[in-house]
A and B are shown apart, each in its own frame.
Chain A
Amino acid sequence: MALPNTTMGTDVMPSGVAPAFSAQQATNAFNQQMTQGRPNATGGKGGGVGGQPSVFQQAQAGQTAAMAGTAAGMGYQPAQVQAGQIAGTDLSPYFNPFEQQVVQQSLGDIEQARQMQANQLASQAQRAGAFGGSRSAILESQANEAAMQQAARTASNLRLGGFQQAQQMAGQDIGRQMQAALANQQAGLTGAGQRLGAAAQMGGLAQQAFGMGRDLQQDMAQQGAIQQMLNQQIFDRAREQFQGYTSFPERSLGYMATALGVAPTPQTQTTSRQPGLFDYLSLAFGG
């Protein structure tokens, strides 16, 4: 079992924040311990049978990864969000790059109109025989003044409109950036919570694996004890049989002793008498 590589994301660990463990380190530690493939018991090391990691190795690796993940979660700091301002914002990207051209074109149109009007005034004055007179000069001056005023208004209105539009667009961008930053911050917090939950789940799985291993160990020990007890009983019966063999002569003596003890033992008493000298004298004298 190997965990997929995970990425922390650029906003998970702000610069300057160095947690004790990272989720990547936790994943690497888990995968490393799972792929070490320690030899089994016959090889003198604590691996599972067949090169597979034992349930205790999985529990230990899971616990380590869970601790690392939890530590990473403890060190997590969400991304900082700062509000943008129009002040200090470079608005040049928001201006119409053709604004100057539009202004110049408008001024050119005004100038052209002024010249046409001047030509018309001159033509009228010439037809009236007043060309070059003071009245003609006054009319030309008034036309020029009006054209200049129109040119100034046109240029200022065009530039004001461009500035206001740039300001509005910059404000909208600042709002969108703020919205994106808040979304990223929330995503980071959600991700951190998800990783903490995963670490807790891994810790639970590690504990479950440890308990399962312990249960199996106890079952094995119990079954082995039953087997050993059976062997011991066989050995005991064999020894009893041997002791019966070695003690049989003693028992056979007991059989005989018992039999002799209960058998009636009639005793025959025989009395014999050897006559002496006095016996013969008594016999001779009729005593």
Chain B
Amino acid sequence: MSGGKGGSQTSRVEIPAYIEGPSRRNLQRAEQLAQVGYMPYYGPSVAAFTPMQTQAMQSTADAAATFGLAPQMDVMAGMPQAQDFGGMQGYGTGQMFEQAIADLATNQPGQAAAFNQLFTGPQAGGAGLLGQVGPMGGYAPFGMGGALPPQFSGGSR
């Protein structure tokens, strides 16, 4: 653009609305999702020993004891108590994860708080952004009744 006594000339490039709108919303959604934070897994991770395995190990220990190679022992002593997951015995790391987060907050409260404030979740001390929206775990696709929070609802939408 130029101006002055000789006048001015302006050039303007316009993106069609059907491209610009989705692009903006996608960026907004990306920013929104970035604040969700890490989603821990509380389900089973490792399958526990089956009764057949436990019995086999106990039998081996008993045999060793019978022949004087070892004292009588419970082979499951020292092993963590398996949890029941729908009839299957296994171990999950959710509790250990929570414990680690709690330990971090105890030992490094400032750092933990600064980190947690960046994201949504129980550790952030408030309801998550996505907790205010649709029923699908906080994510409602556009066009399916999903509504953006006010801070993301402006713009060219």
Contacts and interface: CB of A to CB of B under 8 A. Distances in A.
Contacts of A224: 49-56
Contacts of A270: 11-14
Interface in B56-92: 56-63, 65-67, 72, 74, 85, 88-90
Interface stretch (B1-9, B96-104, B107-115, B117-125): B1-9
A41 B39 contact: no
B16 interface: yes
Contacts of A271: 9-12
Contacts of B49: 224, 228
Contacts of B4: 276
A46 B53 CA distance: 16
A54 B62 contact: yes
A248 B8 CA distance: 50
Contact of A265 (B19, B48, B88, B90): B19
Contacts of A260: 19, 22-23, 26
A238 interface: yes
Contacts of B53: 220-221, 224-225, 227-228
Nearest to A247: B39
B6 A278 contact: yes
Contacts of B57: 221
B87 to A, nearest CB: 10
A36 B107 CA distance: 56
A246 B40 CA distance: 9
A14 B123 CA distance: 88
Interface in A237-253: 238-239, 242-243, 245-246, 248-250, 252-253
Interface string A251-273: 01100110110010111111111
B43 A57 contact: no
Given A44-B74, A268-B13, A276 B3 contact: yes
Interface of A: 41, 44-47, 54, 56-57, 59-60, 213, 216-218, 220-221, 223-225, 227-229, 231-232, 234-235, 238-239, 242-243, 245-246, 248-250, 252-253, 256-257, 259-260, 263, 265-279
Interface of B: 3-16, 19, 22-23, 25-26, 29-30, 33, 36, 39, 41, 43-63, 65-67, 72, 74, 85, 88-90, 137, 139, 141
7 interchain residue pairs of minimum CB distance: A276-B7, A46-B62, A224-B53, A224-B52, A231-B47, A220-B56, A232-B47
17 contacts: A59-B66, A217-B63, A231-B50, A231-B89, A235-B44, A235-B47, A239-B43, A239-B45, A242-B41, A253-B29, A256-B29, A259-B22, A269-B11, A270-B12, A272-B12, A276-B5, A276-B7
